[in-house]
Structure 1
Amino acid sequence: MAHDYAIESLLRPAVELYTVYVCAAGAFLCVFAPWAFALTPLFGLVTSAGFLALGLVRLKQAWQVLRYRRNIRRLPHYTMTSKEVPVSNQRLFIGLGFRWQQRHTQRLMDTYLPKYASYVEATPLFRAARRFEERAEFAPYPVRLLAKATSWDVPINPVRPLPPVGGLPRLHGIEPYEENVSLPLGERVGHSIVLGTTRVGKTRLAEFELFITQDIRRKKHGQHEVVIVFDPKGDADLLKRMYLEAKRAGRLNEFYVFHLGWPDHSARYNAVGRFGRISEVATRIAGQLSGEGNSAAFREFAWRFVNIIARALVALGRRPDYLQIQQHVINIEGIFQEYASKYFDESDPKAWEAIVAIEGKLNEKNVPFNMKGRPFRVVAIDQYLSQTRVADPVMDGLRSAVRYDKTYFDKIVASLLPLLEKLTTGRMAELISPDYQDVNDPRPIFDWMQVVRKKAVVYIGLDALSDTEVAAAVGNSMFSDLVSVAGHIYKFGVDDGLPGGVPGTKVPINLHADEFNELMGEEFIPMINKGGGAGMQVTAYTQTMSDIEAKIGNKAKAGQVIGNFNNVFMLRVRETSTAELLTNQLPKVQVFTSTPASSANDSATGNTAFTSSSHDLVQQVSVPMIEPAHVVGLPKGQCFALMEGGNLWKIRMPLPGHDPDEVMPADLQALAESMRQTYQVGKVDDTGWWSAPGYQTLNESLPADLLDDFKKIAVAPEDAA
């Protein structure tokens, strides 16, 4: 057999079939005409059994060659419905594949040799059929019917078209014997990253739905796991898949949908309402501001003022949110007076008499220059505090803020206000600054600790196609909140503070972040660096390494992020440096090359005039296990996976099968359909592109007559076309 020799030969004619034909003929003759071999009937039967045994051995060997040649050009169809996805409490199913070894590099190199081109490239008949289909697209009916027959995707079609996945089938076809590939769940705490260019299967064919389906359905020791999915662009099919899987798993009561673009159907979430330390509120908000160059000083000022306001709100018994912080950044005097009223009522009730007396003596001429434009009551309180020693850090912070010149104060917080305006304009404020007192609002409010304790399933749609900055700001705030929750769980466990809770209890938290480079910031680094101790299992999806570096703005920090992902799933990428993230971590292997050689020498004896020889020279060459070009040439839905301590696997994920037996509720179905229409590039909704979620905020701020004129201007060019 081929594998018994140094150089394996599978790209060749299946010459074993000749032996099979001879053995079949011999067995037939031994049974029905034993006299042809001078055998008795009994010995004819015995001999026929020997022929059949030899024929079966050769048939198996021939089938290996034929199967290998078929796989090089076309892989067997592989589909799987969500019900068929295996769910294990020990491992995470990925797909069919094989562990890449030296022999696979050898086989792959052989496919590029010119002498094997006829076994690898498409046949002339196949190419002719494809050319005929192109020419017959607008041909008369009988010709079009023939073209339809040649493009019929059935096994009996001799020119059956290849599946529309592109790439090089040989990358997976070099190993005919596939096995189920899975990742031990214990390895997921080391986090995973999925890299692949647009439309190659990150979301649909590859890891996203496959992983999420298992995470939602997994139930270990009677307990489900937490599943959180960040989807910046808004994928309707992903939302539908999550709902259906939650329904099948009986988890609809713990299923939350948060979507910035569809406030009527969305749950509500206060990104700054829960914190371990009060300073986290300022960090989550000011962290969205630019820290490059001169902007760093303004960001520090913004952090300080937001922290002052957040401390005052908490001291007043209120939960901070974006609306309140924006209100008090614009009008710092209001919260200063409110806190002063509370403080003096509790600590110095007689202070108001002195404050009113001071206020009565004030006029525009005797107000200090830095307090110009402030209400007289604020000036009076400030002057009273100057005369009285008050040991209250919140009061001191508020007083230092109001003592700034109003014009100067407006300048140093100028970078903060645009961010707060974006986060509080229109109906978006209902979602990220929820009214906890409104009992008539049926939309649920959730926070991450509640999600973890309920072991909920959460879909986060950030509508990044409409407003990237708002999506990034909300996503970063959510990440910061998750980091805070992870720190609390790491120290005290999930049940901290609950009656009967077991200290130190942790649950798996499966976090899936699609296009995570759009959402990440400084706070993402501690999440993947230290979140594993709290049960956080991050699976991040992005396109290139450059996306991460461009978002963070620092190559060293980008390397720090990548270095925290222990499992790498590399689909087709277009950037060589991204492919090298995988290939540079692999060892070199020895492959064999065969070179034909011949020689002739004069003979020193009189018996022969010369001697000659012909032989094949077999040499060993050291080559990389795979090249970046192989990663670039991957078909859709296939990947190289580096996991479990650097083991390289070649995997193909199942195509999603049809699941027609589940129905979504009307509101989520309407949401999914709207998402599918709105987020398809190049499609215009029937109601007009100006009605998309990204323009709803603008529409609400425009007068009705101006909005009508705006629509007429937009429609006119379309009618003219």
Structure 2
Amino acid sequence: MASTHPIETLLRPAVEVYTALACAGCGVVCLAAPWMIALTPSVGYGLAAAFAGFGLYRLGQAWQVVRYRRGMKRLPRFALASSQIPVSQRYLWLGRGFRWQVQHTRRLHEAQQPEAHAFLMPSRAYRAARALEAPFERWHLTWLVDVLRADTVLNPVRPLPPVGGDPALHAVEPGETDIYLPLAERVAHTLVQGTTRVGKTRLAEVLVAQDIRRQVGGGEVVIVIDPKGDADLMKRMYVEAKRAGRLDAFRVFHLGYPEVSARYNAVGRFGRISEVATRLSGQLSGEGNSAAFREFAWRFVNIVARARHALGYRPTYQQILADVVAIDELMIEYAGYCLPRLDDTAWAQITAIENGLNEKKVPRNMQGRAYRVVAIEFYLQGNRAADPVLAGLRSAVRYDKTYFDKIVASLLPLLEKLTTGATAELLSPNYDDIDDDRDIFDWRQVIRQKGIVYVGLDALSDFEVAQAVGNSMFADLVSVAGDIYKRGVDDGLPGADPGTKPVINLHCDEFNELIGDEFIPLMNKGGGAGVQVTAYTQTLSDIEARLGNTAKARQVIGNFNNVIMLRVREEMTAQLLTRQLPEVMVSQRMLVSMAGDNSDVDTDTDFSSSGGDRVTTTPKPMLTAADIIKLPKGQAFALIEGGRLYKIRMPLPKAADAAELPADLTDMAERMRERYQTADHWWDDVAPPPVTVEPTAQASTPNSWAGDTIHDTAVSAELGEDDD
């Protein structure tokens, strides 16, 4: 639709049709009766061919105008089955669209002018049909309502799709193509923003499906952390894992369904024992007076973790809570392990001291402690033991018991959140229970196995616990990423190559509910370990409110090099995109009319007048915040590849209801759908009929889920209306 004219006017009557009709009439005359215009038959035939060619050319121009005007009201239908989603080993498919350039800003500006209003409004027949629906329903003429609302090309007044927004934002370029993001750009992290129910989770399904099916190097690690719990997203991951033959690597962790969930110990694996204390205390407030208590909490957790590690135990939240509450018992247990190795008579001396103790002999600062703990302290005062762990325990028990309880008071609520009810079984797994067949995983294991993990935190039921578990997982993942960066993913295995870096796709839905101080180093340094984050959130204010610090919020946002923005309601959020775009020059037509009197009485001219059009250019932003706010559902602007702006629309897949999941996962999915509906499925009413797609690969695995069959219906989305 290129034009050499100063102003490209497409919202106008298709006047080219008149030329095409005139050419058709002249061609018929030249073909049927050349003698009427004094032509020989041979010349008439040639001239008829010329008229036909020029008429077709003008008809093509008219069709471009008609198609453009039609798209301003109703975009072409865009629907895909899940098996049709393109999967590339070098690119990530985002949807269909075009690169936004100057001419698109000019066309959008034209569509916003008053004279274009007639081409954007529905027809009178359409408005009349919508007005009649309510009276027909009151008169119980529902069959007439069904006729008026029938979604078929034979119905000239069928309703527009329930996507809202302004179709002109995408209709400014009829020639859309597939839009891809190079995989090399994903390590720079991607931020997806959009208000509720405009397509964030559906876009996540499209991206996650590609990550699961990508087979470079045996597959990529895919981790999805979903605070609320989206049944369709979980089912989509299962479907894609089975289709890709990777079902043995698929795990589900869900706090709301511990009976079928895999188990996970956030503090069970570490590079340095001090990481255990860091993961726990990092979730405590560090503002104001709380900073001192946070440091005390770190110190005591570190003392407890070191002691348990020396005794040969794997740290768990339950064990840490028990030791912090009853540190006397840990002191006695560790002394019984350590002192006999240093002195064969140590325990006999301690027993003798204990038998001679009474209330009067106990120092004031150790009153309330067990007599055996006091006896151990008396023994160590006369017999120095060069054991740093024992020295740490001594310093803890020498605090006044009441004072000790106060300084760890901020730690106890956090530990109780993580060790209450069925949550304790998931986060503090019993490794010795051979009757519990639920899988136990950790992030290094998942990364080595190229795993696929869905994490549901059940935030709607218990936000505090969900937040604590999410932060623990992030802290654990940061630790693993740091170790991979230094030593490689196969450190400790024969023939390990420190230079081997996996691809870890981390998708964080509602990530403003998960983000904490642990997330910042993951963004800054995780790329070196192969971590590429795709975060989904609603507004910038959500991030700032969660972190409680504007500077930290900007620090987090500054680490996202790719921004995909769906419809948002907050102007500041929209400006995150629009402020990074330049101003462009937009041509405008100005009507000029002038008249003037003639003061010379000796001439016959009394006045003069002139009129015409003047073309001027004015600077305008390439996009405004109002344009982002008016986006239809399922459409987005993407600022990727170093500032290139693309306008995209994506297919929003729905989970296949005919997909056969294992009985435990089916029950979980149904309960998740009852408790939390992540989208209103606005595309169901206008999506094409489903088709059956057989899986392309079957997993051969001893996993109990792998033997189930699956018939995946079409994954489809209605982002427009008519087929072209």
Which deviates more, 653-662 or 299-308?
Answer: 653-662
| Unmatched segments (≥5 aa) in structure 2 | 681-724
What residue in structure 1 maps to residue 222 of structure 2?
Answer: 227
Give the alignment's TM-score, normalised by structure 1: 0.92
Specify the SS of the correspondent of 2:454. strand
1: distance between equivalents of 2:344 and 2:676?
59
1: distance between equivalents of 2:343 and 2:49?
110
Structure 1 pair 317–2 and aligned structure 2 pair: CA distance change class (3 A): closer
Which deviates more, 8-17 or 665-674?
Answer: 665-674
CA drift of 1:308 comes to: 0.6
CA drift of 1:588 comes to: 0.6
2: distance between equivalents of 1:135 and 1:288?
58
Structure 1 pair 175–681 and aligned structure 2 pair: CA distance change class (3 A): closer
Tell me the amino acid that sits aligned with residue 536 of structure 2: Y
Specify the SS of the correspondent of 1:600. strand
Asked whether the equivalents of residues 634 and 649 of structure 2 are also in contact (C-alpha less than 8 Å), the reply is yes
Structure 1 pair 592–123 and aligned structure 2 pair: CA distance change class (3 A): same
Asked whether the equivalents of residues 79 and 657 of structure 1 are also in contact (C-alpha less than 8 Å), the reply is no
CA drift of 1:607 comes to: 7.3
Which deviates more, 163-172 or 650-659?
Answer: 650-659
1: distance between equivalents of 2:566 and 2:52?
46
What residue in structure 2 maps to residue 199 of structure 1?
Answer: 197
Tell me the amino acid that sits aligned with residue 197 of structure 1: T
Which deviates more, 376-385 or 602-611?
Answer: 602-611
Listed as ranges, the matches of 1:76-225 within 5 Å are: 76-141=76-141, 144-204=142-202, 207-221=203-217, 223-225=218-220
1: distance between equivalents of 2:135 and 2:409?
62
1: distance between equivalents of 2:596 and 2:2?
33
CA drift of 1:377 comes to: 0.7
Is 1:678 the counterpart of 2:678? The answer is no
What are the superposed Cα offsets for residues 648-670 of structure 1, whole Å, 9 maximum, x if unpaired? 11111113278566421111111
What residue in structure 1 maps to residue 400 of structure 2?
Answer: 405
Specify the SS of the correspondent of 1:80. coil
Asked whether the equivalents of residues 257 and 460 of structure 1 are also in contact (C-alpha less than 8 Å), the reply is yes
Is 1:630 the counterpart of 2:627? The answer is yes
CA drift of 1:128 comes to: 2.1
What residue in structure 2 maps to residue 19 of structure 1?
Answer: 19
Specify the SS of the correspondent of 1:198. coil
Asked whether the equivalents of residues 81 and 657 of structure 1 are also in contact (C-alpha less than 8 Å), the reply is no
2: distance between equivalents of 1:505 and 1:682?
40
Is 1:498 the counterpart of 2:488? The answer is no
Specify the SS of the correspondent of 1:597. strand
Q: Taking CA–CA contacts closer than 8 Å with sequence separation of 6 or more, which of the two structures ends up with the larger relative contact order? A: 2
Specify the SS of the correspondent of 1:400. helix
Is 1:620 the counterpart of 2:617? The answer is yes
What residue in structure 1 maps to residue 581 of structure 2?
Answer: 586
Specify the SS of the correspondent of 1:614. strand
Listed as ranges, the matches of 1:290-369 within 5 Å are: 290-369=285-364
2: distance between equivalents of 1:8 and 1:252?
54
What are the superposed Cα offsets for residues 566-586 of structure 1, whole Å, 9 maximum, x if unpaired? 000111111111111111111
Structure 1 pair 338–589 and aligned structure 2 pair: CA distance change class (3 A): same
Alignment partner of 1:386 out of 381, 388, 400:
381
1: distance between equivalents of 2:84 and 2:226?
25
Alignment partner of 2:255 out of 257, 260, 263:
260
What residue in structure 2 maps to residue 285 of structure 1?
Answer: 280
Structure 1 pair 2–445 and aligned structure 2 pair: CA distance change class (3 A): closer
CA drift of 1:493 comes to: 1.0
Is 1:41 the counterpart of 2:41? The answer is yes
Which deviates more, 574-583 or 600-609?
Answer: 600-609
Structure 1 pair 670–304 and aligned structure 2 pair: CA distance change class (3 A): same
What are the superposed Cα offsets for residues 571-618 of structure 1, whole Å, 9 maximum, x if unpaired? 111111111111111111111121101123456795755443211121
Asked whether the equivalents of residues 306 and 389 of structure 2 are also in contact (C-alpha less than 8 Å), the reply is yes
Asked whether the equivalents of residues 81 and 659 of structure 1 are also in contact (C-alpha less than 8 Å), the reply is no
1: distance between equivalents of 2:41 and 2:364?
125
What are the superposed Cα offsets for residues 214-234 of structure 1, whole Å, 9 maximum, x if unpaired? 00000124x200000000000
Asked whether the equivalents of residues 593 and 612 of structure 2 are also in contact (C-alpha less than 8 Å), the reply is yes
CA drift of 1:60 comes to: 1.1
Listed as ranges, the matches of 1:632-711 within 5 Å are: 632-656=629-653, 659=656, 662-680=659-677
**Identical positions, percent:** 62
CA drift of 1:152 comes to: 1.3
What residue in structure 1 maps to residue 689 of structure 2?
Answer: none
Asked whether the equivalents of residues 230 and 678 of structure 2 are also in contact (C-alpha less than 8 Å), the reply is no
1: distance between equivalents of 2:678 and 2:167?
29
Asked whether the equivalents of residues 197 and 678 of structure 2 are also in contact (C-alpha less than 8 Å), the reply is no
2: distance between equivalents of 1:672 and 1:329?
38
Give the alignment's TM-score, normalised by structure 2: 0.91
Which protein has the bigger helix share?
A: 1
Specify the SS of the correspondent of 1:3. coil
Which deviates more, 359-368 or 262-271?
Answer: 359-368
Which deviates more, 126-135 or 296-305?
Answer: 126-135
Structure 1 pair 657–481 and aligned structure 2 pair: CA distance change class (3 A): closer
Asked whether the equivalents of residues 573 and 579 of structure 1 are also in contact (C-alpha less than 8 Å), the reply is yes
1: distance between equivalents of 2:186 and 2:626?
28
Alignment partner of 2:480 out of 480, 485, 488:
485
CA drift of 1:159 comes to: 1.4
What are the superposed Cα offsets for residues 114-161 of structure 1, whole Å, 9 maximum, x if unpaired? 1111011223322222121133333223xx222221111122221121
Asked whether the equivalents of residues 99 and 647 of structure 1 are also in contact (C-alpha less than 8 Å), the reply is yes
2: distance between equivalents of 1:135 and 1:430?
58
2: distance between equivalents of 1:569 and 1:471?
26
What residue in structure 2 maps to residue 706 of structure 1?
Answer: none
Structure 1 pair 210–680 and aligned structure 2 pair: CA distance change class (3 A): closer
2: distance between equivalents of 1:407 and 1:361?
25
CA drift of 1:442 comes to: 0.8
Asked whether the equivalents of residues 489 and 504 of structure 1 are also in contact (C-alpha less than 8 Å), the reply is no
Asked whether the equivalents of residues 236 and 655 of structure 2 are also in contact (C-alpha less than 8 Å), the reply is no
Tell me the amino acid that sits aligned with residue 16 of structure 1: E
What are the superposed Cα offsets for residues 171-225 of structure 1, whole Å, 9 maximum, x if unpaired? 1111111111110000000000001111111002xx200100000000124x200
| Unmatched segments (≥5 aa) in structure 1 | 684-721
Structure 1 pair 479–2 and aligned structure 2 pair: CA distance change class (3 A): closer
Tell me the amino acid that sits aligned with residue 64 of structure 1: Q
Tell me the amino acid that sits aligned with residue 220 of structure 2: E
Asked whether the equivalents of residues 82 and 657 of structure 1 are also in contact (C-alpha less than 8 Å), the reply is no
What is the CA RMSD across the aligned residues, in angstroms? 1.7
1: distance between equivalents of 2:440 and 2:350?
42
Asked whether the equivalents of residues 590 and 621 of structure 1 are also in contact (C-alpha less than 8 Å), the reply is yes
2: distance between equivalents of 1:124 and 1:276?
71
Asked whether the equivalents of residues 517 and 547 of structure 1 are also in contact (C-alpha less than 8 Å), the reply is yes
1: distance between equivalents of 2:499 and 2:524?
20
What are the superposed Cα offsets for residues 441-481 of structure 1, whole Å, 9 maximum, x if unpaired? 11111111111110010000000111111111111111111
CA drift of 1:113 comes to: 1.0
Tell me the amino acid that sits aligned with residue 315 of structure 1: A
Asked whether the equivalents of residues 568 and 642 of structure 1 are also in contact (C-alpha less than 8 Å), the reply is yes
Alignment partner of 2:533 out of 538, 544, 549:
538
Specify the SS of the correspondent of 1:4. coil
Structure 1 pair 682–583 and aligned structure 2 pair: CA distance change class (3 A): closer
What are the superposed Cα offsets for residues 426-445 of structure 1, whole Å, 9 maximum, x if unpaired? 11111000011111111111
Asked whether the equivalents of residues 579 and 632 of structure 1 are also in contact (C-alpha less than 8 Å), the reply is yes
What are the superposed Cα offsets for residues 524-569 of structure 1, whole Å, 9 maximum, x if unpaired? 0000111111111000000000111111111001000000000001
What residue in structure 2 maps to residue 55 of structure 1?
Answer: 55
1: distance between equivalents of 2:86 and 2:513?
32
2: distance between equivalents of 1:2 and 1:645?
27
Tell me the amino acid that sits aligned with residue 640 of structure 2: M
Asked whether the equivalents of residues 108 and 174 of structure 1 are also in contact (C-alpha less than 8 Å), the reply is yes
